[in-house]
Amino acid sequence: MNQHPAIDDVRTVACIGAGTIGGGWAGYFLARGYRVKVWDPAADAGVRLAQLIDAAWPALAELDMLDGADKEAWSVHTDLAEAVDGVDFVQESAPEDLALKRRLFADLDAVCAPGVVIGSSTSGYSMTEMAVDVAGHPERFVVGHPFNPPYLIPLVEVVGGDRTAAAAVAWAADFYTRIGKSVIHMDREVPGFIANRLQEALWREALHMVENGEATVEQIDRSITDGPGLRWPFQGPMLTFHLAGGPGGMGHMLDHFGPSLKSPWTRLTAPELTRELRDAVVAGCEEATGKHTIADLVAERDAGIVALRRLTAGLRAATPVPQP
């Protein structure tokens, strides 16, 4: 077992790939005060990265995220060994191509010091399938899946593969948390992780609706932006339905509206609403809301929606997107 650096001692991070995701990570690490070494074989990688950092910096300043940051503390390398030399963590954001990732991971393993954890931004592959050719230290390869843009969206989904050590997954979760990310530490590999599975289910239903002439692209987007999308930044889909149950919360919702799960409301069939599933969902809602009563949650929801509507009205006035 190789020692990982103490989280406090991390000074330098390598970003493998400087596209939209890798470059976004580089900007974020810089903002959080780290030195960033970027590996990217493209001739214009440095120019593109400078543009991306310039674009991200004002947003990060507005979020008070630039304490101790040096905007110039980055370098671009075309040699992989040089890029990872002396770094304390590696974030890989190469193109989504399984063969490419497999070769790259074997190469990374050969050049990175053994205790260095390597996080992958993959949005679709499991670490088990990506790390098959890693000969030396497969135990330090972890998925750390961000959302676009990585410098603004807090979510990072963290999960290991079948040869990843639990300590490396825990280290990555701690590191991402330390730098201000909202970490979901998954205990098993699930295709699409969590958020992508959920948004992809919605997206697939939307594509079916376009395919069948049931809704236009504009109607689909507006049905979310002017509907449930106004609740979800504050209260996720589970809490939303917890409130839909009235004072009885999720328990009442499932007991009374559960039968509607049989309705053909989407092309995805719902699971059987067993007593166990019902109780798990209810318990999860109660745990998530703690001492907040349904009345508290309703007041918080309303305050959130009011603030959000004022915000979106202001933003739309500033940059109008044509409405039909």
Q: Which residues within the stretch 137-166 sit at the binding site for a second copy (CB under 8 A)?
A: 147-149, 152-155, 157
Report whether 53 contacts 27 (CB < 8 A): yes
228 counts as binding a second copy under rule CB under 8 A: yes
Torsion angles phi and psi, residue 34, rounded to 5: -90, 155
303 counts as binding a second copy under rule CB under 8 A: yes
Interactions with a second copy, residue window 260-299 (CB under 8 A) = 260-261, 263-271, 273-274, 277, 280-281, 283-285, 287-292, 296, 298-299
- Of 98, 100, 166, 238, which lies in the binding site for a second copy, with binding defined by CB under 8 A? 238
Distances (CA, A) of 120 to 15, 125, 147, 209, 262: 10, 10, 12, 33, 39
122 counts as binding a second copy under rule CB under 8 A: no
- Of 222, 251, 252, 255, which lies in the binding site for a second copy, with binding defined by CB under 8 A? 222
Smallest gap from residue 77 Cβ to a second copy (A): 23
Tokens linked to 202: 């919605």
Span of 28-36, 82-90, 169-177, 307-315 interacting with a second copy by CB under 8 A = 307-315
Tokens linked to 207: 């594509």
- What lies within 8 Å, CB to CB, of 196 at 6+ separation is 123, 124, 145
233 counts as binding a second copy under rule CB under 8 A: yes
Cα 70 to Cα 83: distance, rounded to the nearest angstrom: 19
9 counts as binding a second copy under rule CB under 8 A: no
Report whether 88 contacts 13 (CB < 8 A): yes
Cα 103 to Cα 109: distance, rounded to the nearest angstrom: 10
Cα 181 to Cα 162: distance, rounded to the nearest angstrom: 25
Smallest gap from residue 98 Cβ to a second copy (A): 11
47 counts as binding a second copy under rule CB under 8 A: no
- Judged by beta carbon, residue 113 or residue 273, the one nearer a second copy is 273
- Of 194, 249, 251, 294, which lies in the binding site for a second copy, with binding defined by CB under 8 A? 194
